[in-house]
Amino acid sequence: MRALFAWCALLLACGGLLHCAEAAKARHLKWEVGHMFWSPDCEEKVLIGINGQFPGPTIRAKAGDTIVVELKNGLHTEGVVIHWHGVRQIGTPWADGTAAISQCAINPEETFTYRFVVDKPGTYFYHGHYGMQRAAGLYGSLIVDVADGEEEPFKYDGELNLLLSDWYHDSIYNQMVGLSSSPMRWIGEPQSLLINGRGQFNCSLAAAHTPGTKQCTAGGNRHCAPVILPVQPNKTYRLRIASTTSLASLNLAIGNHKLTVVEADGNYVEPFVVDDMDIYSGDSYSVLLTTDQDPSSNYWVSIGVRGRAPKTAPALALLNYRPNRGFKLPAIAPPVTPAWNDTAHSKAFTTQIKARAGTPPPPATSDRRIELLNTQNKLDGHIKWSINNVSLVLPATPYLGSLKLGLKTALAAARPADTFGRAYDVTRPPHNPNTTTGDNVYVLRHNTTVDVVLQNANALQHNVSEVHPWHLHGHDFWVLGYGEGAYRGDAADAARLNLANPPLRNTAVIFPYGWTALRFVADNPGVWAFHCHIEPHLHMGMGVIFAEAIDRVGKVPKEAVSCGATATALMNGDHL
């Protein structure tokens, strides 16, 4: 009788035996990460690929599926991990793919198996999370469709995928040494922007519209051949867009076409129409595009730089109205990217994003507020990024294993501050630029509601405040609002918050000299990174760690944490 009751309960929970069986489908992948020669922008360099591919293979699954990736490290001299960006890893924090946080780096010639559930549909991607391997090309798309029997809340006739990135000709090793040198050798702006791993350096597909520019050849090198997006006239297409850039904030526009935004970071939003859209590193979107223009023409897809003085040429692709030839160049010029420092344009787009009706609302109040001041500082002559005057340094032993085992050396004695001094002037360089290093681990009580206020400030140089897109692992958060200048936590700041329909995201931007308020529930036991998604900024210390209910974490696979002090503890008979 008890067995029969359990079976009936399972049927009710799954909506029927067939649906339950389909929801439990496992998708097995066998990957090897390795260095290889490639020409992403027609200049041959060495990058990191997967199974001889760049970008890495696209994963396609349905909500509720289990993804199993058997990952071999074919890099000869360094470790590797892969982070599944936007996947919350509920119950599997060791599969988050963050070196020194959720797992040990996978050693050369060793294999680690990632196994996790993709619990909700949406547009995601994956990337390396060890050193600056993402900037070396270790990334790919991860697309999750609705489960069988479910429907999207919008209709479309076809689908296209755009994975956006930037590309440097200098190796990540040159970049990292430069960032860590005294004086710092800044890596500068990327040499090119890539669409689906393809770009063109030192030439333009639209040279006819930019005098003095060299015309790119349409064919030739398959690695950097222009991306062609085939469409039929008078149809509606879903464009899935994600940015895995190392540095660049981007703007996307398609000549003569409107874009209707319907999804952000795997969450549905109230549809709204734009001419162009900003996309920060770590962001993902779905937009609907209707092919209602002159069918005898093709149209430019243009990607340009935002938030930094643009020294990188726009990336171009072709929206190919069939049966036109794919390489038929549009007669009109590509869309012009808004001025790089037109912050009002960026804010106008970002503040339009609201949760779709039916999205769970945030709790009305929070149990804790953590205010994080982003500053640029100096440490023994080195330039660092700091949070509340502490620059993040990751340990040799992954936090997940060391905290699970209760190792005394897991956390520093002094805990990071929940706030910063209200007297700090965010409009000027720091009065005292010196900083220190630390683990920046915030311990959160289980199921508490946490507010996080990200505060931007002036960098070391006068009149410089940069855009920072912050990404939270293991959770989505509600973006409650944005403000100008210093956050005070007073009634005026509270009035700027949206508690009615704030969007659920996993990545949020802080604008120059401003602040962004987030709210999330600490309901996912584990150790989770929260950091600026710009590679050089994280490398230089811009991040914190959230540790939640470690006692509730299930049995951690030994292969995930068998390094550093944890390995010694396991050898001595301790149990995870």
Q: What is the pLDDT of residues 445-501, one digit of tens each?
A: 999 999 999 999 999 999 999 999 999 999 999 999 999 999 999 999 999 999 999
Q: Is 58 exposed, middle or buried (0-12, 13-18, 19+ CB in 10 A)?
A: middle
pLDDT of 190: 98
Quote the CA–CA distance of 189 and 167 in Å, as a whole number. Answer: 9
Question: Where do the domains of the chain lie, and which CATH numbers do they carry?
Answer: 26-145 (2.60.40.420), 158-210+223-355 (2.60.40.420), 368-572 (2.60.40.420)
Task: Give residue 242's pLDDT.
Answer: 98
What's the token pair of residue 524? 């996912």
pLDDT bracket for residue 8 (50, 70, 90): very low
HEC letters along 502-515: CCEECEEEECCCEE
* Closest C-alpha to 387, from 343, 442, 347: 442
Contact 539, 179 (CB under 8 A): yes
Cβ atoms of 36 and 54 closer than 8 Å = yes
Condensed to tens digits (0 to 9), the pLDDT of residues 313-331 reads 999 999 999 999 999 999 9
Mean pLDDT of 259-263: 98
> In this predicted model, what pLDDT tens digit does every residue of 124-170 receive, in sequence order?
999 999 999 999 999 999 999 999 999 999 999 999 999 999 999 99
Answer yes or no: are the C-beta atoms of 291 and 239 closer than 8 Å.
Answer: no
**Distance, CA of 398 to CA of 410 (rounded, Å):** 9
Distances in Å between the alpha carbon of 567 and those of 32, 325, 547, 553, 564? Answer: 25, 59, 20, 18, 6
- Strand residues in 45-181 grouped as ranges (E): 45-50, 59-62, 66-73, 82-85, 111-117, 122-128, 139-145, 158-167
CB 319 within 8 A of CB 230: no
CB 227 within 8 A of CB 218: no
* Listed residue (317, 328, 331, 332) closest to 229, CA to CA: 317
Over residues 202-215, the mean pLDDT reads 91
The pLDDT assigned to 9 comes to 38
Q: pTM, whole model, 2 decimals?
A: 0.94
Q: Could you give the CA distance from residue 505 to residue 216 in angstroms, rounded to a whole number?
A: 38
- Provide the pLDDT for residue 487: 97
DSSP classification of residue 551: G
CA atoms within 13 A on the CB side of 53: 12
pLDDT surpassing 70 at residue 567: no
Beta-sheet pairing, 26-38 with 66-73: parallel
